[in-house]
Amino acid sequence: MRTPIIAGNWKMNKLNKEADALVKELVPLVKDAECEVVLCVPFTDIVTVRKAIRGTNIRLGAQNVHWAESGAFTGEISAAMLKELKVEYVIIGHSERRQYFNETNETVNKRIQAALNYKLKPIVCIGETLEERESGQTEQVLYTQIIECLRGFKSWDFDRMVLAYEPVWAIGTGKTATSEQANEAIAFIRDTIRKRFSLKIADKLRIQYGGSMNGGNVKELMAMEEIDGGLIGGASLSPAKFADVVNYK
Ligand code: 13P
């Protein structure tokens, strides 16, 4: 019922020439994908990638957006700016933003609102750290993130939203959550959405898993009932490896 969505998060990688080459190699490899395919690229690659994906089944995403309309926010990018470049998706609240750039649930909430105002589709990231998991706080942390990040949104806002469960300890570490761990956390997230918002929203909302997902573990993860896709870091930097994830069936 929920269309799977596999998104690459290039993070701070790929100069224009490399981005162009990667996409050109990727296009034929994923053209028959049965899932939605998205590339979330650095701001400086947006125009290059938009040209390279024209007429293909690949969708364009960015990795952050500021909440203000415009103004004195040196180094930031507004939702209107992304919309102007025909960006469709935008990652919000990635754990690297939270860890290194003081992103909070409150700023995530404001960024989501700004993205929605411009009809961008937010990919909202949540997830616990290793310390939080080991001290038995996973559900509490996820609960607080859901409540605070999604505060104030209406049922129609969720039509454009995707959530990504990314346990911080699984990102870039080669240490994937087991399919059971990922499924269990995502089931908890969906259940919380059901209780806080509605059954209909929870049923429709796509929730990805992210954290060392690759061609070797994608099949097992995607076979789990609650997992609707993946947010792929490292493996999205190579066309062949990313295609292996996209063509998981
Ligand atoms: P890795 O796939 O490199 O672990 O990164 C996951 C991630 O952070 C995607 O947003």
Q: How high is the pLDDT of residue 127?
A: 98
The three-point CA angle 224-205-23 to 5° equals 80
Pairing outcome for strands 89-92 and 58-62: parallel
Ligand 1 centroid – CA 71 distance (Å): 31
Is residue 170 classed exposed, middle or buried when 0-12, 13-18 and 19+ CB atoms within 10 A define those classes?
buried
Catalytically annotated residue among 103, 132, 166, 226: 166
Number of Cβ within a 10 Å radius of residue 236: 29
Where b means 16+ CB within 10 Å and e means fewer, 39-74 reads: bbbbeebbebbbebbeeeebbbbbbbbbbeeeeeee
- Whether 166 is catalytic is yes
Ligand 1 pocket, residue 9 CB under 6 Å: yes
What are the distances in angstroms from CA 197 to CA 148, 158, 192, 234? Answer: 13, 10, 8, 34
- Please compute, for residue 152, the number of CA atoms within 13 A of its CA located in the half-sphere on the CB side: 12
Note whether 210 and 179 are within 8 A (CB): no
CB 218 within 8 A of CB 245: yes
Q: What are phi and psi of 145, to 5 degrees?
A: -60, -45
Q: How much distance in Å is there from the Cα of 233 to the middle of ligand 1?
A: 3
pLDDT in tens, 70-108: 999 999 999 999 999 999 999 999 999 999 999 999 999
Q: Is the CB of 232 under 6 A from ligand 1?
A: yes
Distance CA 123, CA 209 (A): 11
Name the residue with tokens 């209909």.
Answer: 200
pLDDT, one tens digit per residue, over 172-199 is 887 888 999 999 999 999 999 999 999 9
Count of C-beta atoms within a 10 Å radius of residue 189: 24
The pLDDT mean for the chain works out to: 97
Task: State how far the Cα of 203 lies from the Cα of 89, in Å rounded to an integer.
Answer: 21
Identify the DSSP state of 183.
H
With 90 as the cut, is the pLDDT of residue 211 above it? yes
How far is the CA of 21 from the CAs of 17, 28, 103, 124, in angstroms? 6, 12, 32, 28
* Identified catalytic residue from 36, 94, 132, 226: 94
Tens digit of each residue's pLDDT (9 = 90 or more) over 10-56: 999 999 999 999 999 999 999 999 999 999 999 999 999 999 999 99
pLDDT of residue 177: 86
Bridge pairing between strands 121-126 and 58-62:
unpaired
Rounded-to-integer distance, Cα 173 and Cα 184, Å: 20
Ligand 1 atom with the shortest distance to the CA of 211: 4
Share of the chain above pLDDT 90, in %: 97
Instruction: Identify whether the C-beta of residue 200 lies closer than 8 Å to the C-beta of residue 154.
Output: no
Name residue 126's beta-bridge partners.
165
CA of 235 to the centre of ligand 1 (A): 8
| Residue 161 near residue 124 (C-beta atoms within 8 A) | yes
